[in-house]
Each structure stands twice: as C-alpha cells, then as structure tokens.
Structure 1
Amino acid sequence: MTYLQAYIKETMRIHPALGQILPRIVPTGGVHLCGKFIPEGTEVGCNAWTVHRDRAIFGDDVDDWRPERWLDSDEHRVKEMDRYMFIFGGGSRTCMGRHIAMLELSKLVPELFSTYEIQLIDPSRYTDHCKWLVVQTGLDVKLWLRDQRQWLSEV
C-alpha cells in the first residue's frame, strides 16, 4: 500500500484533474504576497499544473513521473511536497470529497489491475483538453480477466 499511495500521489501531481486557476479575492486591506503588495479586491489564484512543477519543491526531475520521490525523500521533504499538492484545492475551499476520492482510488486501482489485464489499444490517440477539468480522450483499452489461480500461485 505504501508504493500504491506514492503511485497515486505522483500520478495526480503530474496530471491534476483541474486545469484552471482556483481564484480568490484579496481581502480588505490587501495582502503582502512573496514580497509584493496586492490591493484588496484583486483576483489571485494558482494552478495545480504549475505548482506541481516547481523544482524548488519537487526536485530537478519535476517533469518526470517518479513515484519513488515520495518514498526516497526524508520525512520533512515529503511533508513539504504534500503541503504543495493542490489536486483538491486548498485552504477553506479544499474539496469536501477528497477523502472519498482517495479511498476510491486506493481500492479501485489495485482491484482493477489484479482482476484484469489491461492493454492500451492505440497510445497515439491520447489527447487531453483543458477546460475547467482536463478531459482525456483516446484511452481505449482491451480488458480481459486475469487467471486468478495463476496469479495466486505466483505470490
């Protein structure tokens, strides 16, 4: 389960579902942010796709899909990376369903891959299109049941 959790985190880091900024309005009196003053009423926001590509947080190999980054790093670094994961938003507007989503991923992914052989039909057909959500198309697959007896005897 430890590697599965790293796998899920890294997948969501590389390909977050939301493609647009999550806007906020600067409160009364303005705010100092990163050494700059931003006046009240200004709309500000950040995008998970850019936050998750910050080399200072995720390392020089930030563009590589590498689940081991969550396992090889010390505890402080993992907490820092977790702090900047923006897949479910942040602060008072964090997605209320995030725990259910993680539960579903943690159950569905191993169940799916332990039950079925999965083969992508044509990788060249894959595209993604950014609206509010990043919609993926061209992920047609062939599925067939694994031989459970063979799989269990290999364990």
Structure 2
Amino acid sequence: MLAYYIDGQLRDTATLDYEYVEQASCGWEGDAQRCAVSYFTGAHSSGAKSVFFSADAGIEITDDILGGAPGTMPTYLDGNGRADVALRQSTYDPNYAEAPQYWETYLEFGGEFVRTGCTAPEYTNSPAPTEPAYRSCDYI
C-alpha cells in the first residue's frame, strides 16, 4: 500500500495487489513529487512504478515495469534529479536457476520509464548500474 500525507493529514492511498513495496526515490515536479517505487511480487519477479504525488490529484500511478528477477532499484542515472530505475532480468537460459542475469536501465520522462539499454549478462550478482546502460538487449 502507498499512503500520501500532507501536513500530517492522510491525503490518499493506493493498494498494490500482490506487490510488496521495497523502496522509493523521488524528485520534485513543481510543488508535487514524482517517485520511482520498487516492489517485488515473488521470488522471481520485481518491478517499479512511476508514481505522481500531488495535493490536487493525490496518488497517480503513471507507469509500471516488471522484471524477471528480484532486485529492482530506484536510482538517479542521468543527474536530472528525477528518479530512474535499474531493473534486474534473467536470460532464463538454460533455466532460471542457472541463467545469467543482467540489468535494464530506464530513465523517467513525463511519468513513463523509457528503456535505454542493458548490461551484459553475468553469473555474479553485480550492483545496480549508476549510469544508463546503452548495450543492446537482443538476448531477451
């Protein structure tokens, strides 16, 4: 569940069915805030929502991306003060347990996450990227 408070008063809530909030990174958009909120849905899946919090409209979810592995990270990739996302994926080759994983990076533009590219698949748990990835995602 997401809850939005203004001056200690509950303004709005949003229920996320089968999605468990992990963390958020936010940036200002005028007098409102836009956040990247990460969540997990189970052992093999995580994602992020672009959420707009404003006094007028309350909570607005404007985009949602889902990955095939745990570990989605809200982050700041391009230095503009707006929250972006690094989303972990699996190649599923030959199967989930033995497959290498990689990161997809997304920049936030106008409430939507736009994929910039992917990192190379790895068998180790590498940290989330700190800048946009521009490598092809053709192994997806």
TM-score tier after normalising by the smaller chain length: under 0.3
TM-score normalised by structure 2 residue count: 0.23
**Which structure has the higher relative contact order (CA within 8 Å, separation 6+)?**
1
The answer to which structure has the higher strand fraction is: 2
